[in-house]
Amino acid sequence: MDLFKDLLLPPAKSTIANSHDQLFEFVHMSSLILTIGILAAIIYFIIKYRRKSENEVTPVITHNNALEITWSVIPLVLVLFIFGWGFQIFLNMTSPPDDAYEIQVTAQKWLWRFQYENGASTTGELHVPVDRPVRLVMSSNDVIHSFFVPDFRVKQDVVPGRYTSAWFNATETGESTIFCTEYCGTDHSNMTGSVIVHNEQDFETWLAENAGGASKPSDLAPAEWGEQLVKQNACNTCHSIDGTEMVGPSWQGKFGSEEPLADGSTVTVDENYLRESILQPGAQLVEGYDNVMPPYQGQLSDEQINAIIEYIKTLK
């Protein structure tokens, strides 16, 4: 029965997703039946009424009002039914429950930043509890972006100069992809992220650990933690570690090297330069690159910056 759902849709991992998928299945199934019917009629006609001689005479049938009304009214009733059904789900999609857990989302070229009630903040990774409605209050720092999680069937444009919101209730723990679906320039296709759905207890623990900036997990070396932070903060969207040219300079062999700057001088890449470039990227810009990186002032703790620098040092 769920032909189209199984063939076309990603796994359903939110409450909305399930009701969405039923409607999706219904509309596609009705369409398929109609398509087969019409194709069958066409094939039947071209075989049965194939021209056998050039002198064939065809009957004069100019119109039939009863038929016209039939094939106007039946589809009309059907589409009105679909409209009503879709409208009902849409109302659900736009009405978050009052007790929804609120997370602030900021989009900018080309990353997602999430801020939680207790001061915790993440980039690229959205942490949410399972079985609890979550409401996202979103705005953009530059151009229009769009927040899309296929597994949740949630999409909402994120517009500069105003707040938009979306909500979902995740039904299982695990990880799902976030895409940006409003075209926003060079790295639009790399402006992805992930939603990590925890069970209630893990979520509370994670939230408490990250209040006011996270500290290093005890089982990781600083450089290993740095590698993790680079992914979480979407640094790898613009900086490669293998020398590939991207929006920003590659980090391969960067530590200790001499870099030509946009103002004509050169600088030795040391801890201080890296720290400054993370907090105020525009201060000493490497030649040939645009000043497009957002400042990470207030986003990363000293401990986190140290870990990232340790990681960059390992990239020979």
Partner 1 sequence: MATAEASSGSTKKLQVRRYKPEERAEKNYLNAEKGIWSWLTTLDHKRIGLLYLAGISLFFAVGGILALLVRMELWTPGPTLGFLTADGYNQLFTLHGAIMIFLFLVPSVPAVLGNFVMPIQIGAKDVAFPRLNLMSWYLYMAGALGTIYVIIAGGIDTGWTFYTPYSSSTGGAVTAMTFGVFIIGFSSILTGVNFITTIHKMRAPGLTWGKLPLFCWGLYATSIIQILATPVLAITLLLVGMERILGIGIFDPALGGDPVLYQHFFWFYSHPAVYIMIVPGFGIVSEVVSTFSKKTVFGYWAIALSSLAIAFIGFLVWGHHMFTSGQASLASTVFSFLTFLVGIPTGIKMFNWLATMHKGSIALKTPLLYVLGFFFLFLIGGLTGIVLATIALDIHLHDTYYVVAHFHFVMVGGMVMALLAGLHYWWPKMFGKMYNETLAKIAAGLILLGFNVTFLPQFVMGAQGMPRRYYNYLEQFTYYHQVSTVGAFILGAGFLLVLGYLVHSLFRGKKAGANPWGSRAMEWQIASPAPPHNFEHTPVVIHGPYDYHRPMEDFQLGLIQSENGHSEHQGAEIASDTDEVKAEE
Q: Residue 101 is inside which H or E element, if any? A: strand 101-108
Strands 121-123 and 258-260: unpaired
Rg (CA), the chain: 28
User: Which pairs from 90-93 meet CB under 8 Å and 24+ separation?
Assistant: 92/16, 92/19, 93/16, 93/154, 93/167
Point out which span in 180-188, 200-208, 252-260, 298-306 binds partner 1 (CB under 8 A).
180-188
Q: Does residue 288 bind partner 1 (CB under 8 A)? A: no
Q: Is the dihedral of CA 108, 114, 120, 123 positive or negative?
A: negative
CB of 64 to partner 1, least distance (A): 8
Q: Does residue 28 bind partner 1 (CB under 8 A)? A: yes
- Segment 148-167, which members bind partner 1 (CB under 8 A)? 148, 150-151, 153-157, 159-162, 164
Task: Please name every residue paired with 135 in a beta bridge, in sequence order, or none if there are none.
Answer: 102, 167
Point out which span in 113-121, 128-136, 141-149, 193-201 binds partner 1 (CB under 8 A).
141-149
Q: Which is nearer to partner 1, 164 or 306 (CB)?
A: 164
- Segment 213-232, which members bind partner 1 (CB under 8 A)? none
CB of 254 to partner 1, least distance (A): 21
CA 236 to chain CA centroid, nearest Å? 17
Q: Which is nearer to partner 1, 59 or 264 (CB)?
A: 59
Q: Does residue 94 bind partner 1 (CB under 8 A)? A: yes
Could you write out the three-class secondary structure of 157-170?
A: EECECCCEEEEEEE
Q: Does residue 40 bind partner 1 (CB under 8 A)? A: no
Point out which span in 68-76, 128-136, 227-235, 278-286 binds partner 1 (CB under 8 A).
68-76
Point out which span in 76-84, 210-218, 248-256, 268-276 binds partner 1 (CB under 8 A).
76-84
CA–CA distances in Å: residue 85 to residues 77, 182, 232: 12, 27, 39
3-state secondary structure of 147: strand
Q: Which is nearer to partner 1, 74 or 221 (CB)?
A: 74
CA 205 to chain CA centroid, nearest Å? 25
CB of 157 to partner 1, least distance (A): 5
Q: Does residue 3 bind partner 1 (CB under 8 A)? A: no
Q: Does residue 49 bind partner 1 (CB under 8 A)? A: yes
CA 286 to chain CA centroid, nearest Å? 30
Is residue 8 within 8 Å of 164, Cβ to Cβ? no
